[in-house]
Structure 1
Amino acid sequence: MRLRTLSPSEMTADQKSIYEESVSSKRGTVTPPLRAWIHAPEVARHAGRLGAFLRYDTTLGPLLSELAILVTARHWSAQFEWYAHKKLALAAGLDSGIIDAINHRHVPDFDDPEAQLVYEFSESLHENCKVPKLLYDKAIEMLGETGVVELVGLLGYYALVSMTLNTFEIEAPEGEICDLVP
């Protein structure tokens, strides 16, 4: 990591508070992007709380959330994000063939219409910076207004995570394999 990882003894009271909040949260740890954000405590505080909600508490559920996160990781070629969320996507039940197709920038074959919608919506927003009306209307119909807002939030948040990981050169942990293709 380009930034120095601060130990709790080196942290200000504000940084230590954020560190402790992260360790005692559902995450149970200080995530790699938070290790960078903690150098700017207000960024860390707000991004950490938003991330905790988007990661664990949306109406999308783990499978659709992890699918959207992998599309984002692939878009940004974020090594650590791909490494971490591929495991979580598999655990959530996302088919390995779908993950492999995303990794190789191929359109996956879906059996689940909601998963296909999340993939298409995510790809459209990342690649075209917008979502066409027909796709938007279908998303509202299938996910509801809350689900669509949460999906956009998830995609934006994980774009921030990816930019953080890439800027500060946070890759998969040493000795771990990240199979994200160039």
Structure 2
Amino acid sequence: MRLSSPRIDPVDLDRIDAEQADALAPVMQRGQVLNIFRTLARGPEALKAFLGWGSYTLSRKNSLDARLREIVILRTGFLCGSGYEFTQHTRIGLNAGLTAEEIEAIKQGPDAPGWSGLDRAALTACDELVREHFITDATWAALSDLGDRGRMDLVFTVGQYTQVSMMLNTFGVQLDEGQVLDPALDRRTG
């Protein structure tokens, strides 16, 4: 987390206009409206587009199984210094079958002990994509069990969560009530 307070305040749900209400409708149906969505509602048309692509990334349409998808999201969020993203997806990752120990190991990356070959390759791909915006031939080959569609979905997922991390960090989206920031991601400056 980079900022101690938002640069763009989340909307007050009791004071949203019709366009914001329309954009937030899919999120509001699920219950609690998280700060990320309340912030993005400041740009309702962008929020609608964001929800469409994000829904693909988090759905069963994404060919990555939920556990591997969450490894990719958590590593991307960690590399981007997004405390908000890492916090949200820690819970989601645990629900997808990751252990607390694996989530700690995600912060260490592909060289942490205990990863399967595919997990290690996915973590390496995240590192390469975030740092170089490219997957090397060796890593691409190590991801061959995913097939072309799975490798594409891995790139799509890293790209989506790099963008999400940039928005969260830059807009100063704060953790939702009751959440605790991982100290490794406390980079607040203001």
Please tell me the TM-score bracket, short chain as reference: 0.7 to 0.9
Aligned-pair identity in percent equals 24
Higher relative contact order, chain-length normalized (CA < 8 Å, sep 6+): 2
Matching of residues 15-94 of structure 1 within 5 Å: 15-24=20-29, 28-57=31-60, 58-94=62-98
Which letter does structure 1 place at the counterpart of 2:24?
Y
Work out whether 1:167 is the aligned partner of 2:144. Answer: no
Question: Contact 1:80 / 1:170 at 8 angstroms: preserved in 2?
Answer: yes
Where structure 2 has 5 or more consecutive residues not aligned to the other structure, the ranges are 1-5, 186-190
SS at match of 2:114: coil
Work out whether 1:121 is the aligned partner of 2:125. Answer: yes
Cα distance in structure 2, aligned partners of 1:149 and 1:169? 30
Task: State the match for 1:178 in structure 2.
Answer: 181
CA-to-partner distance for each residue in 1:55-106, whole Å, 9 max, x for gaps? 1221112101110111111111111111111122122222333321333567
Report the count of equivalent residues.
Answer: 179
Where structure 1 has 5 or more consecutive residues not aligned to the other structure, the ranges are none
Cα distance in structure 1, aligned partners of 2:11 and 2:181? 25
Q: What's the RMSD between the two structures over aligned residues?
A: 2.1
- Give the 3 Å change call, closer, same or farther, for CA 94–178 of structure 1 in structure 2: same
Cα distance in structure 2, aligned partners of 1:86 and 1:168? 21
Q: What is the deviation of 1:7?
A: 3.1
Which letter does structure 2 place at the counterpart of 1:17?
D
Work out whether 1:11 is the aligned partner of 2:16. Answer: yes
TM-score, normalised to structure 1, is: 0.86
Which letter does structure 1 place at the counterpart of 2:165?
S
Structure 1, 76-85 or 5-14: larger mean CA deviation = 5-14
Which letter does structure 1 place at the counterpart of 2:128?
S
- Give the 3 Å change call, closer, same or farther, for CA 147–32 of structure 1 in structure 2: farther
Cα distance in structure 2, aligned partners of 1:111 and 1:9? 46
Task: State the match for 1:97 in structure 2.
Answer: 101
Structure 1, 143-152 or 5-14: larger mean CA deviation = 5-14
